[in-house]
Structure 1
Amino acid sequence: MGASVVVGASASASSAGYRRDADGKFHNAAVEPKQGFWKTLGLFWDVMFRKPAGTMPTTGQAVPVQPITQAQLLAAPDRTLFRLGHSTVLLKLQGRFWLTDPVFSERASPFSFAGPKRFHAPPMALSDLPELEAVILSHDHYDHLDEATVKALAPKVRHFLTPLGVGQRLIDWGVPAEKVQQLDWWQATTVSGVTLTATPAQHFSGRSLWDRNSTLWASWVIEDAGLRIFFSGDTGYFDGFKAIGERFGGFDLTLMETGAYDARWPYVHMQPEQTLQAHLDLRGRRLMPIHNGTFDLAMHRWQDPFERIQALARLRSVELVTPIMGAPVDIHQPAATDAWWQAPV
């Protein structure tokens, strides 16, 4: 299918569910609680200078990684998944490769010398990735949209699928406009037999102090001949999960944000209890927790997202999929996965 750019979010109230002001700023349907200057300053101070112990692995807690070669990817059966780190997931569908929120840089930051640093190397070099049918982007924060990675990947990517406004950032970085499709919430596109729908999320956007909410954020529904996968991107808990579950009739696998949470920012990131409830709202069969294990973005221990969602899933009899970074996963019938974050190195 040829690429096209989808534009045209309406001003003021949107039928998709968000609000867009006359100046082009996007806003969630729910009103965001005001933090105030001093609360915001205190939060920044804590995150930057008062981190508790354990938010990063120590030398004896290295995150295990299973290296991948391009030959292994090409030989993998269809409907195989590889988690590469944080929210970066590689899917093999229709014999082609689809990549979510690729971040291969050492830091999730506008600076190469400062900002959250990776706990582990990617399971494979960026240059070793095969040709990609599509890169699927949820929003423009640095831990999801990595300029260096996008520029390196662009020659081998046929399509970039983004929420409104995010695609223009790619075009500004030199990605050919004909490769970019920008979708509003509930808009869908079909690429090489796979249908992808941008669906609501409750978050925010921006890459500087001056461009907050100038682009849209989204979750994604990925459908391949009866197989349905949900990719949450970043989001707080909201009633949109039920709407998505009702509209699509359930999911074989949900890739759900479970990490970088804090009681002080529940509007934009979910606690594990909310992650599990969102999975149930979506009528998910299996849950893979993502947005964890790669960057230090909050105040909790780095293992906490895995430990908490594992305990909650057991209580609710939810099947959890927690592969080692780089390990292949059969999307239809995943093998049992170990609690690798607890294992001694």
Structure 2
Amino acid sequence: MSACLLSYARTNHPVADYAASPQSDDGRFRNVRERPAMGLGKSLRLFWEVVLNKPPGTAPSDPLPVVPLTRAELDAAPDRSLYRLGHSTLLLKLRGGFWITDPVFAERASPVQWAGPRRFHAPPIALDDLPPLRGVLLSHDHYDHLDRATVRALADRAEVFLTPLGVGDRLIAWGVPADKVHQFDWWQGTTVDGLQFTATPAQHFSGRGLFDGDRTLWASWVIVDPPASTEAAELRLFFSGDTGYFDGFAEIGRRFGPFDVAMVETGAYDRRWAFVHMLPEETVQAHQDLGGRVLLPVHNGTFDLAMHVWTDPFERVAARTAELGIPLSTPKMGERVDLAAPQPTEAWWRTVAK
């Protein structure tokens, strides 16, 4: 929530008209289930609380355990490897190519780098040390998911950028070659190197300034890696981006599930804005709706964006999945996850002082 409240300093308006989209209404995108109106007064009160009235424990006092990564390690990694680099930034190796989700390497999730939510940890690998990317997958345009400096650095090093409608217009305005940018409405997608990508619904919002709210679309993503040989099994992945809980998860599960690994947000939540960010128990329910096998929670452990203790997303998701017998993967930042057979992970956050 705070990343949106802070995003008032500047913006780039989309350059295209998306009136033909079923999600478009009078120049702005909308959710299937209407989002409650916040109002200026309530928004300002929330801004005051989230930014200036933090309770203790929303950020760690000690460094987080981070597994450093090198280019050589990544090049040598087998296919179907995943590395969590922070927040919702995931590096995946699929069919010999690297894909990155919502890449944010900035020090702060903010329109300016002298104020705003600051990282708990450095990325496991520097931006300049990343291998060439087959593609970048973006969920929406908030500052903790779309970092202008990172995108501009990747403009010549990534071959394709897959985005929801309007988000790609921002990239083009920032200097990404237009022929690399591919934009999609919900339920639309493409195939790259045999990998199938589909933009799917999410319950969220967008905007980077005071006057551009909901002018770009938000989305979750389905990634399907069909069998490349008779020995390999199909791999189905889900990446939620940001979202509140809604019945769209069940529909995505019906159309594309079950999923081998679901990377689903749990973090930066509060009951006052649960319609755009799920509570941890809702994250687990969404995973069940999707038909997920292994749950890998994201959108936590990197930025202080809400009022909860920073370990709360991990603890609550771990407790609920343990009750239900759902396999949970909580890798350290930089730790490799085998997507074909995710290995057990430890509760690393319990070793860090609150």
TM over 0.5: yes
Q: Is residue 44 of structure 2 the alignment partner of residue 41 of structure 1? A: yes
Q: Which residue of 1 aligns with 2:248?
A: 240
Q: Which residue of 1 aligns with 2:264?
A: 256
In structure 1, distance between residues paired with 2:317 and 2:104: 24
Answer yes or no: is the 8 Å Cα contact 1:241–1:282 preserved in 2. yes
Q: Is residue 343 of structure 2 the alignment partner of residue 328 of structure 1? A: no
Counterpart of 2:184, as a letter, is: L
Cα deviation, 1:257-286, whole Å, max 9, x if unaligned, reads 010000110110000011000000000000
In structure 1, distance between residues paired with 2:300 and 2:178: 32
Counterpart of 1:238, as a letter, is: F
Cα deviation, 1:55-111, whole Å, max 9, x if unaligned, reads 0110xx321100000000000011010000000000000011000000001000000
Runs of 5+ unmatched residues, structure 2: 1-15, 227-233
Answer yes or no: is the 8 Å Cα contact 1:9–1:184 preserved in 2. no
Q: Does the residue aligned with 2:104 lie in a helix, a strand or coil?
A: coil
In structure 2, distance between residues paired with 1:239 and 1:250: 16
In structure 1, distance between residues paired with 2:39 and 2:207: 19
Q: Does the residue aligned with 1:320 lie in a helix, a strand or coil?
A: coil
Runs of 5+ unmatched residues, structure 1: 1-6
Q: Which residue of 1 aligns with 2:189?
A: 188
Answer yes or no: is the 8 Å Cα contact 2:262–2:287 preserved in 1. yes
Q: Which residue of 2 aligns with 1:140?
A: 141
Q: Is residue 32 of structure 2 the alignment partner of residue 29 of structure 1? A: yes
Q: Which residue of 1 aligns with 2:122?
A: 121
Following TM superposition, the consecutive aligned residue runs of length 4 or more in structure 1 with deviations greater than 3 angstroms are 7-11
Counterpart of 2:244, as a letter, is: G
In structure 2, distance between residues paired with 1:9 and 1:286: 36
Q: Percent identity between the aligned chains?
A: 63
1:302-317 to 2 correspondences below 5 Å: 302-317=310-325
In structure 1, distance between residues paired with 2:59 and 2:296: 21
* TM-score normalized by the length of structure 2: 0.92
1:259-338 to 2 correspondences below 5 Å: 259-338=267-346
Answer yes or no: is the 8 Å Cα contact 1:140–1:166 preserved in 2. yes
In structure 1, distance between residues paired with 2:82 and 2:276: 27
| Count of aligned pairs | 331
In structure 2, distance between residues paired with 1:41 and 1:214: 22
Summarize the Cα distance change of 1:31–1:344 in structure 2 as closer, same or farther, 3 Å threshold.
closer
* TM-score normalized by the length of structure 1: 0.94
Summarize the Cα distance change of 1:45–1:8 in structure 2 as closer, same or farther, 3 Å threshold.
closer
> What is the root-mean-square deviation of aligned Cα atoms in Å?
1.2
In structure 2, distance between residues paired with 1:8 and 1:333: 43
Answer yes or no: is the 8 Å Cα contact 1:202–1:238 preserved in 2. yes
Q: Is residue 92 of structure 2 the alignment partner of residue 91 of structure 1? A: yes
Moved more, 327-336 or 276-285: 327-336
In structure 2, distance between residues paired with 1:37 and 1:121: 35
Give the Å deviation of 1:153: 1.1
Give the Å deviation of 1:344: 4.7
Q: Is residue 86 of structure 2 the alignment partner of residue 78 of structure 1? A: no
Give the Å deviation of 1:249: 2.7
In structure 1, distance between residues paired with 2:18 and 2:41: 34
